[in-house]
Amino acid sequence: MYRYTKLSLLAIAIAATGAVAYAAKGGMENDALAISKAKIPLTQAVTVAEQHANGKASRAEYENSKQGWVYDVEVVSGAKVFDVRVDADKGTVISSAEDKADHDDDHEKQD
């Protein structure tokens, strides 16, 4: 029994060391700190998204996606809600889609 405990502790130590090394290399970048590298400010991205969807922004996030770093802006226009993605380097709209059910509430579970 003592042997298995010893092996388990060794495995945990190795995994923890690997996680620390990965984080130190920058594999776990903080989104809040990463925004300093964006070429356009959040306020400009919100303005672009509001103009594109003809509404008012209710939420905006800076996140890493398949397209690279983007601003994900939720815009309310009348009775509709749009998810507008704005390129963080160019300030152009990458995509825009109506969010009929507003399923993007996973951020509320974390709050």
Contact 42, 35 (CB under 8 A): yes
Which of 78, 84, 70, 1 minimizes the C-alpha distance to 42? 70
CA distance 102 to 74: 10
Reading the block at residue 99, the tokens are 């969010």
Question: Would you tell me which CATH number, out of the four given (3.40.50.720, 3.10.450.40, 3.40.50.2000, 2.60.120.10), belongs to the domain 36-99?
Answer: 3.10.450.40
Question: Taking the model in full, what pTM does it have?
Answer: 0.64
CA-angle at 107, arms to 23 and 28, nearest 5°: 10
Q: How do the pLDDT tens digits run along the chain, 111 residues long?
A: 566 555 555 556 565 555 555 555 555 567 678 888 889 999 999 999 999 999 999 999 999 988 889 999 999 999 999 999 999 999 999 999 998 875 555 555 444
| Domain boundaries of the chain, sorted by first residue | 36-99
In whole angstroms, give the CA distance from residue 4 to residue 19: 23
